[in-house]
Amino acid sequence: MEEKKQIENEHLTKVYHTNHIVEAITVEKRCTGIAHYRKVSRRGYVNLETGEYIESKARASPIDIEKRFKKSCHELRRIINLNFTGHCSEKFLTLTYSGTMRDYKQVNLDFKRFWSRFRYSYPSCEYIRIIEPQANGSYHLHVLMKRMDRQGLFVPMKKLKQMWERGGVWIENLPFVDNFGAYFCPKFLKESTTSTDTVSKAHEKGTRIAFYPEHFRLYSCSRGIQKPVPVTMTYGKLKQIVGGTPPCYSHTTTIRDEQGSREILNSITYEQYILKGEKRHE
DNA sequence: ATGTAACCCATCGAAGATGG
DNA sequence: CCATCTTCGATGGGTTACAT
């Protein structure tokens, strides 16, 4: 049993406040100094203290890729929660291919073309775009679209189909959920590893992440989309912001030297609060 | 006029190492 | 897992050019 340590009110915590959702990340031993290594080229790093030069691994391991993916998902969730509230100026689009499309670059080109057309007719719109492989490895796109002048966004189906001629198009209102970020983030990692057939390779690794190319971007945003800015504050100040609301989710990770080691290097507590009252503004 | 594609470049996300 | 830093390649969008 891990004893639940109470965080001191004076302890510093990093807080993301994205509309009605508040996330607090509290690191027990906060990073003190500056990292010793500096990137000096594509693969090269130099230790500033010793002058030692090293080169990075040629290829990232599947574990590294999964970590990166999770990190991107976290950021994506926050961006969505900061920019989308369920207002009538917001819509959710899905763009698919009629055939199989496994060319990541081509998908980006196709979206670029779609966006240049869309922007012409709806110049006040901004987007968050997520590229996702389906179980068979064929890509499709999810787009959260938003009118910045806060007028209702209505796009005739006929027009949409003209702008995206590669396959199916869907446009919907945002669903009635508390956490849009969590709703729209890919959930590959939960997939079971029990594979059946042809798509073997990706499934053997237990995830569709394997379909992405090496330097993929899970999401991208147009410039008008706000980026979440964390604020470092005391834990007491955080409690003041959330009032009496208890965290709806909380998790502490302990970092050990190596697996099974008894010595704890650090611990990180993640908490999420959902504040009522500043929820949806229709 | 009206809609689309082609350039170019500032900006932004991904990479990747270590210490805690 | 988070923090921190730098480099590099991708890309968003303003502008121009080219259609219809």
**Nearest residue to C12 (CA, C1')?**
A222
Q: Which of A159, A161, A87, A96 is nearest to A122 (CA)?
A: A159
pLDDT tens for each residue of A247-257: 999 999 888 87
Residues with CB under 7 A from strand B: A 27, 29, 31-33, 35-37, 39, 43, 45, 54, 56-57, 60, 64-65, 68, 71-72, 75, 113, 116-117, 120-121, 162-163, 214-221, 223, 227, 255, 265-266, 268
Q: What is the spatial distance, in angstroms and rounded to an integer, between the CA atom of A64 and the C1' atom of B1?
A: 53
pLDDT tens for each residue of A50-92: 888 888 876 677 788 888 888 899 999 999 999 999 999 999 9
* Percentage with pLDDT > 90 across chain A: 52
Q: Which nucleotides of C are covered by protein (CB under 7 A)?
A: 1-14
Q: Which of A262, A245, A275, A190 is nearest to A17 (CA)?
A: A275
pLDDT tens for each residue of A199-231: 444 444 457 888 888 888 899 999 999 999 999
- State the Cα torsion A225-A184-A138-A209 to the nearest 10°: 90
Q: What is the spatial distance, in angstroms and rounded to an integer, between the CA atom of A158 and the C1' atom of B18?
A: 54
**Nearest residue to B5 (CA, C1')?**
A113
A38 Cβ nearer than 7 Å to chain C strand: yes
Query: A166 is written with which tokens?
Result: 């590669």
At residue A1 the predicted structure's pLDDT band, cuts being 50, 70 and 90, is very low
Distances (CA, A) of A196 to A136, A203, A209, A230: 12, 9, 17, 43
Q: Which A residues 74-133 have CB within 7 Å of strand C?
A: 74, 105, 108, 111-112, 115, 119, 126, 129
Type and span of the H or E element at A73: helix A62-83
At residue A34 the predicted structure's pLDDT band, cuts being 50, 70 and 90, is low
User: What's the gap between Cα A49 and its chain centre?
Assistant: 35
